[in-house]
A = this chain, B = another copy of it.
Amino acid sequence: MAGFERGEQRALARAISRCESGAGEPLIRALFQRAGRAMTIGLTGPPGVGKSTLTASLVTLLRRLGKTVGVIAVDPSSPFSRGALLGDRIRFGEHFVDDGVFIRSMASRGHLGGVAGATADAVTLMDAFGYDVVLIETVGVGQSEIEIAEVADTILVALQPGSGDTVQTLKAGILEIADVFVVNKRDHPMALQLERELRSMLELLDHDGWVPKLVATQALDGTGVDALWAAAVEHAAYLRASGEIVRKRRAAYEHRVRALALGALEPRVDGAVAALPDGPDPYAAAREVVKAL
């Protein structure tokens, strides 16, 4: 903790590792009240859409604006997650020796509290450590793109032209969680068509309050990344002005507590179930188990 207090990145890294191994409780208990100041941004989308490049471009922009950034990559296909530091150094050049940037990959399977549990802990730690912005990159497959909405205030959903992404998006329920849509690879011949499709889908939705923004980027050369950042800032301002931030953070808090509580109950249920005699019907037995807790 002393290293953490002194702002040493290695202490932060160790703290996150403890959360990943399921031993983060004392750290979170000590630091939770200090968190809540950072702007938390989730970036999700299908593999290959360029999420890591977008992340790198955003980090470059934020550093230029004088903001410090913590990055969490939960995406198993992310180069950060594979520890492929050599490749990242080329792209991240300056950031790897920059104290204002901290990049961390997370296992996509968690302990107590599930996948989101350790990620939420890492966000709390980076926030308490003092980063202005915490950016969480997750691959948009299965559950994770829904869970990201429980750990970040603002969700960016990146889509790729010519990949049939819009339909996929609707299926996965990403549409409901997106605060900003990013059409990356905007020089692609299908980019305008994807933008049109997205706009007409957005018109069909019944928005009260925030209407999702649509931004086109070319993450590789940084084109449009300033507009993406502006959209994220606008959403954060909307959350505060409308008071929506309170409802949103409360829902995230409840989600997190619920996962931790169920995670703590499961082994106790298993223990009580294993101790059951044969014989009683399953419903009677389940009542016994619940009573035994």
Contacts and interface: CB of A to CB of B under 8 A. Distances in A.
A289 interface: yes
Contacts of A264: 286-287, 290
Given A262-B269, A265-B265, A293-B293, A257 B286 contact: yes
Interface string A231-273: 0000000000000000000100110111011111110011011
Interface in A25-39: 25, 28-29, 32-33
A128 to B, nearest CB: 11
A282 interface: yes
Summarize A's interface: helix, strand, loop or mixed.
Answer: helix
A269 B261 contact: yes
A90 interface: no
B284 A29 contact: yes
Nearest to A276: B257
Interface residues of A, number: 36
Q: Give the interface centre of A262, A263, A284, A286 by most chain B CB atoms within 10 Å.
A: A286
B250 A283 contact: no
Contacts of A265: 262, 265, 269, 290, 293
Given A29-B281, A33-B281, A281-B32, A286 B261 contact: yes
B290 A261 contact: yes
A278 B253 contact: yes
Nearest to A29: B281
A1 to B, nearest CB: 15
Nearest to A274: B254
Interface in A47-98: none
A120 interface: yes
A13 interface: no
Interface of A: 25, 28-29, 32-33, 120, 250, 253-254, 256-258, 260-266, 269-270, 272-274, 276, 278, 281-287, 289-290, 293
7 nearest A-B residue pairs (beta carbon) = A32-B281, A260-B286, A261-B289, A261-B286, A257-B285, A25-B283, A256-B282
Given A257-B286, A258-B273, A262-B266, 17 more contacts: A25-B283, A28-B281, A28-B282, A29-B281, A253-B285, A257-B273, A257-B282, A257-B289, A258-B270, A260-B283, A261-B269, A262-B262, A264-B287, A264-B290, A265-B269, A265-B290, A293-B293
